[in-house]
Amino acid sequence: MRNFLIILSFIVAGITSAVMIGFDMEEFGFASGIYYDDEQEGLEEQIIIRFSHVAAENTPKGRAASKFAELLEDKTNGKVKVHLFPNAILYNDTNEWEAVQSGSVEMIAPATAKISEHYPIWQILDLPFAFPNHQAVEKTYEGKIGEALLEGLDHTNVKGLDLWYGGFKQITTQESVIREPDDFNRLHFRTMPGAVIQEQFSQLNASTSIIPFNKTYQNLEVNFVDGQENTLSNINTKKFYEHQQYLTISNHGYLGYGMLMNRDFWNGLPSEVQESINEAIHEATAWGRRHAIEINDQHARAIRSNQSLEIYTLPAEERAKWRQALRPVYDKVEQTVGSNLMKEIETIRENYAY
């Protein structure tokens, strides 16, 4: 009898283990982003948004992402939580697009240049010297152009939530300082994807390699590339200055981000959750707009205290030479984005002229 009970207990334990181990993960919501949460009293299930991005946490994008997560959890009383995956620890900028398309993550924040690979109209945001100042960026992002770009995603499997602020791009090099357009000649630069960025360096007679952001440091370290372009916050947090001797403050382009969500996931959310996400994302956008300049200024001060880096700021006459050399980029982009958007961006640039 004792042996029978022992055998029976093993059988019961085996059946229980098979049931527990052999369940379908999707039935419990792990693939869909909906989780049972036994810690939240009164909540039967909790919605998890996996938010993957490539920037460091102490950058405009990283800080705005944290603000968004905080706001959304507060607005939904903990029903919705955002799990942040910065620094490309989950996906990098070469595979994050496929990840959000497939639903492997619910949300990404790629640079606008990366979105332009899939939706070429977004190229307009990467035009060199399109934005004389931060006010011009705000007018573009939150005006007719920004609305048109986000609405252009309406019939795709990603939903455009908003545009976030990053900062103006600068140039770093290892062998010599960049002052005039001719200084780019025959140098090799790391770039992110994007037709406008490739054309920009082509017009300056420089070659390029498209390298994931999280691999840039290694490529600078082994001298595979001579230089790169980026915001001051990215240059400082990723320590590019360790393998770059010169920094040119050029403000030649603006690095901003599109906030994208998997559309199937969005469509499956209750309307009140969708409303909370929209509110949180727009509040985080406003917060990011106010703090992006401050964050980049903090990193600028840190960079300036670095004695190993020689910093050169373009004067107005040299900036004019860069703009003239890069003017053909505008003619090529107009063929893609159309004359109406080009007129709008030109008007903004004239109204906020240098």
Q: Would you state the pLDDT for residue 33?
A: 54
pTM of structure: 0.85
Q: Count how many residues are written for the chain.
A: 354
Q: Would you state the pLDDT for residue 50?
A: 98
Taking the C-alpha atoms of residue 239 and residue 167, their distance in angstroms, rounded to an integer, is: 17
Q: Which helix (H) or strand (E) holds 347?
A: helix 339-351
Q: Would you state the pLDDT for residue 11?
A: 46
Tokens 């059988």 -> residue: 11
The tokens describing 11, both together, are 């059988």
Q: Burial code of 267-298, b = ≥16 C-beta within 10 A, e = fewer?
A: eebeeebeebbeebbbebbebbbebbeebbee
The tokens describing 248, both together, are 């040119």
**Beta strands at 227-230 and 246-249: parallel, antiparallel or unpaired:** unpaired
Tokens 């984005």 -> residue: 337
Query: 7: Cβ–Cβ under 8 A, 6 or more apart, which residues?
Result: none
Question: 161 in helix, strand or coil?
Answer: strand
The one-digit pLDDT tens for each residue of the chain (354 residues) are 444 444 445 444 444 443 333 333 333 343 445 444 444 444 558 999 999 999 999 999 999 999 999 999 999 999 999 999 999 999 998 899 999 999 999 999 999 999 999 999 999 999 999 999 999 999 999 999 999 999 999 989 999 999 999 999 999 999 999 999 999 999 999 999 999 999 999 999 999 999 999 999 999 999 999 999 999 999 999 999 999 999 999 999 999 999 999 999 999 999 999 999 999 999 999 999 999 999 999 999 999 987 789 999 999 999 999 999 999 999 999 999 999 999 999 999 999 986
- How far is Cα of residue 189 from the mean position of the Cα atoms in its chain? 20
Report yes or no: 121 and 337 within 8 Å, Cβ to Cβ: yes
